[in-house]
Amino acid sequence: MNFSIRGDKFEVTDAIRDYAKDKVSKMEKYFDNPEKVNTKILFSVKGREQRVEITINGGHFDLRAEVSHSDMYAAIDLAIDKLEGQMRKFKTKLMNHDKGFVFEDFGPEIEEVTEEIAKRKKVFLKPMDEEEAITQMEMLGHTFFIFKNEDTNAVCVAYKRLDGRYGIIETE
Q: Domain spans of the chain?
A: 2-96, 106-170
The whole-number pLDDT of residue 136 equals: 87
In tens, the pLDDT along 99-130 reads: 444 443 333 443 434 456 777 878 778 899 99
The whole-number pLDDT of residue 36 equals: 87
3-state SS of 107-170?
EEEECCCCCCCCCEEEECCCEECHHHHHHHHHHHCCCEEEEEECCCCCEEEEEECCCCCEEEEE
Q: Given this chain, do its domains 2-96 and 106-170 carry the same CATH topology? A: no
Position 33 confidence tier, pLDDT thresholds 50, 70, 90: confident
Q: CATH 3.20.20.80: does it fit domain 2-96? A: no
> What is the secondary structure of 22-83 as a DSSP string?
HHHHGGGGG-S-GGG-EEEEEEEEETTEEEEEEEEE-SS-EEEEEEEESSHHHHHHHHHHHH
- Would you say residue 58 has pLDDT above 80? no
| CATH hierarchy code of domain 106-170 | 3.30.505.50
